[in-house]
Amino acid sequence: MIRNKIDGIRDACLKELGKAVDLQDINAIKIKYLGKNGELTAVLKSIKEVAPSERPAIGKCINEVHEIVDSKISLKESVIKEELEKKRLYDELLDVTLSTQYDGIGALNPLTQIKKDITDIFVHLGFDIKDGPEIEFEYFNFTALNIPKDHPSRNSSDTFYISDKLLLRTQTSAVQVHVMKTHEPPIRIVCPGKVYRPDDDATHSPMFQQIEGLVIDRSVTLRDLKSLLEEFARSFFSSTTKVRFRPSHFPFTEPSVEVDLSCNKCGGSGCNLCKHTGWIELLGAGVVHPRVLKECGLDSNVYKGIAFGIGVERAAMIKYGIHDMRLLFDNDIRILKQFK
């Protein structure tokens, strides 16, 4: 009777073991058969009910089954552990020979790229690159540039003041003054950098970038300015881009001009980008005012200057046909990817 029971327990245990798939199953089987209240343990405890003469044989039988069950459980356990380890290694496998299709590698922001493209063109034309402070003295940003005390651009609604004398520069033209005061002509420089004004809408941002250009030599004229900007426009936009000067006014240049380019999108026939005029305004420029030369210690009878200021965001908007400048600042990966 008890032998049949022992054999039954062994068979049931081995059958369950055959079905076990993970360590939880193995644990459950251990508890069910070999645990403190397990089935084999229970049979062992019931041995006292067996006739004394049969006890040694039954005891031996229980021990054998115990050994078999125990070793089969250990075997199965190690097989499962080995499989788990194999799976872990496989999951963590790196195939270093796989070709990469990953396109998440970054690129320069379009504005950084445009700034570089513009300065590169001027560097090829023999210009040096100069830097200036973003926190500037009122003197360099306004006074030395012949901007009168009552000029509206000096108002706190147009300029971020830090104190009476200090401000966030509103134009990279301020760098002109630093360079003229410290360098002997001839001077050929471009000054890329950030400038600040309290404006914020689709075409204005409180921080934007400009590239100031300055040439000082014994005989530079408006005509040189035109051919220089034509050269630039053809390199930056296209070989057929035309340049047009319109009279304008800046306190630091005389004469002053507003420089328009033939529309890059429609080629001059008129479209929504150029508001159907065929022309797009790109920058301000002019012949450096003799008062500015004098203020910077240069004799205006000997030296002449031409200067220009390019808006980097504006150049990017024109080049790529973008209507809202904020798209360039928003860091929307879908927009930025289009410029890669």
Give the shortest CB-309-to-ligand DAH separation in angstroms: 3
Q: Answer yes or no whether residue 127 interacts with ligand DAH by CB under 6 A.
A: no
Closest to 107 measured CA to CA, from 116, 118, 119: 116
| Residue 139 three-state SS | helix
Strands 187-196 and 128-129: parallel
Cα angle: 326, vertex 328, 334; to 5 degrees: 110
The helix/strand/coil state of 240 is coil
Between 38 and 213, CB nearer to ligand DAH: 213
Considering only 212, 260, 295, 313, the residue that binds ligand DAH (CB under 6 A) is 212
How near is the Cβ of 258 to ligand DAH at its closest, in Å?
A: 9
Q: Does 286 bind ligand DAH (CB under 6 A)?
A: yes
For residue 58, give Cα distances in angstroms to 30, 34, 40, 257: 22, 17, 12, 115
Which residues, 168 to 207, sit near ligand DAH by CB under 6 A? 171, 173
Nearest residue to 329 (alpha-carbon basis) of 202, 221, 241: 202
| For ligand DAH, the closer CB: 65 or 211 | 211
Q: Total residues contacting ligand DAH (rule CB under 6 A)?
A: 11
Nearer residue to ligand DAH within complex by CB, 171 or 209: 171
**How far apart are CB 322 and ligand DAH at their closest, in Å?**
20
Q: List CB contacts of 8: < 8 A, sequence separation 6 or more.
A: none
Residue 147 has which token pair? 């901007």
Out of 122, 140, 142, 308, point to the residue binding ligand DAH (CB under 6 A): 308
Binding range to ligand DAH, per CB under 6 A, among 29-37, 76-84, 303-311, 321-329 = 303-311
Q: Which residues contact 220 (CB under 8 A, 6 or more apart)?
A: 304, 305, 306
Whether the Cβ atoms of residue 300 and residue 294 lie closer than 8 Å to each other: yes
Q: How far is the CB of 94 from ligand DAH (least distance, A)?
A: 54
Smallest separation, CB 140 to ligand DAH (Å): 12
Residues between 245 and 284 with contacts to ligand DAH, criterion CB under 6 A: 250, 253, 284
Quick one: 208 or 236, whose CB is closer to ligand DAH? Answer: 208
Question: Encoding tokens for residue 173?
Answer: 């033209």
Q: Which residue, 132 or 309, is less far from ligand DAH as judged by CB? A: 309
Which residue's CB is nearer to ligand DAH, number 245 or number 329? 245
In the complex, the smallest distance separating the C-beta of residue 91 from ligand DAH, rounded to whole angstroms, is: 59
Q: Which stretch binds ligand DAH (CB under 6 A): 49-57, 305-313, 316-324, 328-336?
A: 305-313
Query: What DSSP string describes 281-322?
Result: EEEEEEEEPHHHHHHTT--TTT-EEEEEEEEHHHHHHHHHT-
Pair 180, 132: CB distance under 8 Å: no
Least Å distance, CB 340 to ligand DAH, is 30
Least Cβ distance, residue 194 to ligand DAH (angstroms): 12
User: Which residues face 215 on adjacent strands?
Assistant: 188, 306
Between 309 and 328, how does the x/- string for binding to ligand DAH read (CB under 6 A)? x-------------------
Contact 236, 315 (CB under 8 A): yes
Binding region for ligand DAH (CB under 6 A): 171, 173, 212, 250, 253, 284-286, 307-309
